Structure 1
Amino acid sequence: MILVTGGLGFIGSHTVRALSDLGEDCVLVQRRAAEPPAALDGTRTVVERSDITDLTALLDVGARHKITGIVHLAGSMPWPPDPGRPVEQTREVIGGLCNVFEAARTWGVTRVGVASTIGVYGGVTAEGALGEDLPLPMTAPHLIPTFKKIGELLGGHLADAAGVEVVNYRISATWGPRDPHGPLFFAAPELVRAAALGTEPDLSLLGRPAYAEDAIDLCYVKDTGRAIALLQLADHLGHRTYNIGSGRATTNAEIIAAIRKTVPDARIDLPTGGTASRTHLDITRLRADTGYRPDYDTERAAADYLAWLRAGNER
């Protein structure tokens, strides 16, 4: 049975679905009482109320279930940040990560997967494909990549010291059903939402204006979840860190064209211009060690996401 933290969340729920499709039972730990979403109907999933910052409560989950692996997708950063509790929040999130490794050691779990982000490459000057061995700057422009870098380093230390295999998932920009962020980091989710609702996109949350030529490694969440599941279940992995993405840069113009295959009159035009780079994640390692290939190109992803929203789902 695979324990998944954050298993009721955006990427987490799709990962649980993928693990179930590959024959695995899952136990999800959730801070508050909750039921699995309809998307997990038919899966062999148990939800346990537990907080990873409470080591005793977390270890109790292992007393009730035979845990063979851990996929740690719960946010290991102080989000949203509380200006009045910076030290306390930092202590909590670092403590939660330590508890996950303590639980793995106690239960005899051999592999712990930990969510990282494409954001750790921020500040790297390379263009094109970003490989896992690229040197990373010690600074970060946002607290999310800051804490993901900390998590990778701390996880590596704990893995070596405790004898537990750790796998870092450097996850690219991810879009699809149940996305909680909207246009906080990139335009694609709001472009789809606006097309489904027949409105113009509201991109005011973006840190800078969006242009048609802007590009990012954009991965559909069902592919992201499947990649994580494959990494968790692989018999052998040759590396500690894996990029998870589409392996290509997708422009906003491509997303708009894909959306219009389903909604021809969508009012989602963006201005031309912009100076965004065309970097993307090199997924050679992931392909070689798991056989992963993205199932969803931009057009199929847009059509699937639109169908989800048009079925009455809010996000």
Structure 2
Amino acid sequence: MSEPSSLDGTVLVTGGAGYIGSHTVRALREAGRDVVVLDSLELGRREAVIDAPLVVGEISDRDLVSATCGDHGVTQLVHFAAYKSVGESMGSPEKYWRNNVAGSVELYEACMAAGVRDVVFSSSCSVYGTPPEVPVTETAPIQPESVYAESKAMVERILSWYGQTNGLNSVSLRYFNAAGASFDGRIGEDWTHSINLVPVVMKALLLGDRELAVFGDDYDTPDGTCIRDYIHVDDLADAHVKALAYLGRGGASTAVNVGTGTGSSVLDVIQASERVSGDPVPYSMEPRRDGDPIATFADPTFAEETLGWRARYDLDEIIETAYAWHRSQLDQGR
């Protein structure tokens, strides 16, 4: 008789009522996994969880985490819950140290005490800072340029040490730029607090009361604007499903870039939005912002080799689903 696998138990998803978290919860359930969500609902939306069990609370509440793990038979963890504004992190660093770093320690300690041994951590390509070359591989130097990025790098290191001292197995997924919405329009990104390019473009396109500020048109790129790797949120959710399966099969702890391998400029995003909507995006050219890398996009080779994952969707599908989602929210008065 074979030993039970961690894949047979429930996945605890912290921050599962948020943008990427809710898409991952849905992907896990479609893959046949049992899921329980822990979210404070400070930035998440209850309705985004759809019909998954939701526990409202903080990741630093050890008693609540322990009870949740015990009540639901949790064997694996996907940890999204974190603050993620670069600018805010520089103005209020203590908020990021306390929640993103100290909160993660409390979460991991409670989960390990409950017998959880597999963690997929929501990290970020920002841990690389301005990479010395693109496409970016996992061997690029870790050189964060913000408190937010440093908090992600620190938690990666904490996981590495927990692996050595406690046998905790982990995959840190270093996301590039998540964007888009579910193809059925059920869930998407709340633009209320978002400063990501795609929802900001959608605001300029749909609200009719603002211009998009494009910061810099004199970079050394084909059209002069910054280049980033935009990955559809459903592709990103799939990477979490595959990372959990990898750990459940006994895969070694690692860090993996999650991107498409294709760079798109700010003007590429604007032009795709105009193609999809049939309307012009109002924008103005502004001076460069300090700290914006010229071009950043992933080398996804290691993700395919290690997790069997690769992106399925391109920029047009990202924009099509984002546009449909945001337009539907306006129609519903949200």
TM-score by length of 1: 0.84
* Matched residue, 2:269: 255
Q: Is this contact kept in 1: 2:36–2:54, CA < 8 A?
A: yes
Q: Distance in 2 between matches of 1:310 and 1:77?
A: 25
Q: Is this contact kept in 2: 1:173–1:216, CA < 8 A?
A: yes
Report matched runs for 1:223-234 at 5 Å.
Answer: 223-234=235-246
Distance 1:247 1:84, change over 3 A: closer
* Secondary structure at the counterpart of residue 170 of structure 1: strand
2:172 paired with 1:168: yes
2:271 partner letter: A
CA drift of 1:160 comes to 1.5
Q: Is this contact kept in 2: 1:77–1:143, CA < 8 A?
A: no
Q: Is this contact kept in 2: 1:247–1:283, CA < 8 A?
A: yes
* Secondary structure at the counterpart of residue 281 of structure 1: coil
TM-score by length of 2: 0.80
Choose the corresponding residue for 1:142, options 142, 146, 151: 146
User: Per-residue CA shift, 1:273-292, capped at 9, x if unaligned?
Assistant: 97963331111121122332
Q: Is this contact kept in 2: 1:114–1:168, CA < 8 A?
A: yes
CA drift of 1:297 comes to 0.7
User: Per-residue CA shift, 1:32-61, capped at 9, x if unaligned?
Assistant: 5999644443x5x11112322121221111
2:203 paired with 1:193: yes
Q: Distance in 2 between matches of 1:3 and 1:210?
A: 44
User: Per-residue CA shift, 1:235-281, capped at 9, x if unaligned?
Assistant: 35355101112222111222222212222222345659979633311
Q: Distance in 2 between matches of 1:294 and 1:23?
A: 21
Choose the corresponding residue for 1:215, options 224, 227, 236: 227
* Matched residue, 1:178: 189
1:259 partner letter: S
Distance 1:32 1:153, change over 3 A: same
Report matched runs for 1:1-315 at 5 Å.
Answer: 1-31=10-40, 37-41=46-50, 43=51, 45-75=52-82, 80=88, 86=94, 90-91=97-98, 93-126=100-133, 128-137=134-143, 140-176=144-180, 177-180=188-191, 184=195, 186-203=196-213, 208-209=215-216, 213-234=225-246, 235-237=249-251, 240-268=254-282, 271=285, 277-313=294-330
* Secondary structure at the counterpart of residue 231 of structure 2: strand
Q: Distance in 2 between matches of 1:260 and 1:78?
A: 27
Q: Distance in 2 between matches of 1:289 and 1:89?
A: 31
2:53 partner letter: V
Q: Is this contact kept in 1: 2:100–2:151, CA < 8 A?
A: no
User: Per-residue CA shift, 1:166-221, capped at 9, x if unaligned?
Assistant: 1111111112322457663x533211232233454343xx8x44776321011122
Q: Is this contact kept in 2: 1:26–1:46, CA < 8 A?
A: yes
2:82 partner letter: G
Q: Is this contact kept in 2: 1:82–1:89, CA < 8 A?
A: no
Q: Which runs of 5+ in 2 are unaligned?
A: 1-9, 181-187
Q: Distance in 2 between matches of 1:254 and 1:281?
A: 17
1:310 partner letter: R
Distance 1:209 1:183, change over 3 A: farther
CA drift of 1:311 comes to 1.2
Q: Is this contact kept in 1: 2:276–2:316, CA < 8 A?
A: no
User: Per-residue CA shift, 1:57-116, capped at 9, x if unaligned?
Assistant: 211112211001000111167995597893x86345433212222233222222111111
Distance 1:77 1:270, change over 3 A: closer
Q: Distance in 1 between matches of 2:92 and 2:45?
A: 33
Once superposed, what is the RMSD of the aligned Cα atoms? 3.2
Distance 1:181 1:238, change over 3 A: farther
CA drift of 1:123 comes to 3.5
Q: Distance in 1 between matches of 2:206 and 2:21?
A: 24
Query: Which is further off, 219-228 or 20-29?
Result: 219-228
Distance 1:89 1:280, change over 3 A: closer
Query: Which is further off, 48-57 or 143-152?
Result: 48-57
Distance 1:98 1:183, change over 3 A: closer
Corresponding residue pairs, total: 305
Q: Distance in 2 between matches of 1:83 and 1:76?
A: 13
* Matched residue, 2:4: none
Q: Distance in 1 between matches of 2:271 and 2:30?
A: 31
* Secondary structure at the counterpart of residue 329 of structure 2: coil
